[in-house]
Structure 1
Amino acid sequence: MSMAHDERLALVDTMTRVGPDAPTLCGGWTVRDLAAHLVLRERRLDAAPGIAIAAIAPYTERVQASIAARPFPDLLDQVRSGPPLWSPMRPLDAALNFGEMFIHHEDVRRAGPAWEPRELDRRRQDAVWAIATRMGRMAYRNAPCTVVLVRPTGERAVVHRSEGGEVVLRGEPAELAMHAFGRDAVRLEADGPAAAVDAVSARRRSI
């Protein structure tokens, strides 16, 4: 099975353990809301574009609310089974969904006060590093300084260049990826001029 499949199952296990009303790092969403988002993304192709397109977001929100009203076990069954056979996402699940499942799994894991980073094998660390560098190019594209990501192996990636100094974000790939996706529940070090570090940390990140 793919890493996306394994992460999907791990996410559902965590959602089952914490329950539908537990918080997540996705704004005001509960675990139920997040599960409904995942079901909509993979099974309601008419509404999924509203995740990114503001003009049709109200329709997407109504559809997601209707999905969230379903019994929680049914939602988790649909998340667990992944894109249906008729979905164009089905053959692309392994390529498209590892990052989605990983970030949202961490959204559930890190919403409580006592979370700890997971230990990932090298293959998964490398996959998450690729996500962090790819997302970093979008997340920090308007930063007023150069932004460099550095993982514990020493590998570096310059994800944005600017004349306003340099900020180096150091941490495990999972921490760098979560930060690039706009989450603040991370454990990383930021080196650079204080004003530049504050600007990178305070700015709206993600897409």
Structure 2
Amino acid sequence: MTGQLHDLRRTVRREREALCYSLLAAGAGAPTLCTGWDVLDLAAHLVVRERRPDLAAGVALPPLRGLLDRATAAERDRGLPAVVERFRSGPPPWSPFAVPGVDVVGNLVELVVHHEDVRRAQGMPPRTDVPEVQEAVWGLLGVGGPALLARAGVPAVAVRPDGPRRVLRRGDHPVVLTGEPVELLLLLYGRRSAAQVDVGGPSLSVSRFERAHLGV
């Protein structure tokens, strides 16, 4: 277990570095898949999320929204290179994301999804050279999949192109989602247009899934 955690933390560090590269390569004003956000907005969000976890509730609670917006604007004012460097340095010691293990559970999905938010918005194809990321995401789908599909109310099974299957939400007549783990993750996080996933199964299940709200 210790060795597995070490490998996962190394994967998180590599994904952070790769995301930093993609943010800088795209440029501050480049689009992302996050509606209304350019690359600088996304980079500022990543820094505030790790350095000001006390403001996380501002996403849903209006009394804290102003504080969250001001903290994000302050990061934006630093400019993209400085913001990316702050993100590259990792969470500060007081951040919960600095706790060993929390960075895996709390950061891996965030980094992968936002990395693809940047890449796909620039017209880049799925990555084929990150097997460690695919394996890590596949493992986490078994943990987070049921929650991501809760509001959809549709039983679902994930199938990798090379054969492995995983039940994401139990129930009769499940929809069958076939794709690489990162593509499945993008779909479950609401990036339908970008995710390269085949949706199959009973027609009624597919219809319900296609109408369902996905994401957080």
Q: TM-score range by the shorter chain?
A: 0.7 to 0.9
Where do 1:56-205 residues align within 5 Å?
56-92=64-100, 94-95=103-104, 96-112=106-122, 114-163=123-172, 165-184=173-192, 185-205=194-214
Deviation for aligned residue 1:98 = 2.0
Deviation for aligned residue 1:141 = 1.5
Which of the residues 15, 23, 40 maps onto 2:23? 15
- Structure 2 CA distance for aligned equivalents of residues 136 and 44 of structure 1: 27
Distance 1:198 1:120, change over 3 A: farther
Which segment is superposed worse, 119-128 or 87-96?
A: 87-96
- Structure 1 CA distance for aligned equivalents of residues 50 and 160 of structure 2: 32
Sequence identity percentage: 39
- Structure 2 CA distance for aligned equivalents of residues 52 and 72 of structure 1: 26
Asked if the contact 1:5/1:98 (under 8 Å) is kept, the reply is no
Structure 1 segments unaligned to the other structure (5+ residues): none
Asked if the contact 1:135/1:181 (under 8 Å) is kept, the reply is no
Asked if the contact 1:140/1:200 (under 8 Å) is kept, the reply is no
Distance 1:204 1:85, change over 3 A: same
Deviation for aligned residue 1:117 = 0.9
Aligned AA (1:37) = H
Q: Deviations over 1:113-160 (max 9, x none)?
A: x32110144432210112333332112113343211111232212222
| 2:50 equivalent in structure 1 | 42
Q: Deviations over 1:55-110 (max 9, x none)?
A: 53343223212322222211011111111234332233642322221111111001
Distance 1:7 1:58, change over 3 A: same
Aligned AA (1:91) = V
Asked if the contact 1:133/1:149 (under 8 Å) is kept, the reply is no
Aligned AA (1:106) = E
- Structure 1 CA distance for aligned equivalents of residues 64 and 208 of structure 2: 32
Runs of 4+ in 1 over 6 A off after TM superposition: none
Structure 2 segments unaligned to the other structure (5+ residues): 1-8
- Structure 1 CA distance for aligned equivalents of residues 133 and 157 of structure 2: 21
- Paired positions, count: 205
CA RMSD in angstroms, aligned pairs only: 2.1
Distance 1:122 1:73, change over 3 A: closer
Which segment is superposed worse, 194-203 or 168-177?
A: 194-203
TM-score, structure 2 normalization: 0.85
Where do 1:18-33 residues align within 5 Å?
18-33=26-41
TM-score, structure 1 normalization: 0.88
Tell me which protein shows more helix as a share of its residues: 2
- Structure 2 CA distance for aligned equivalents of residues 131 and 26 of structure 1: 22
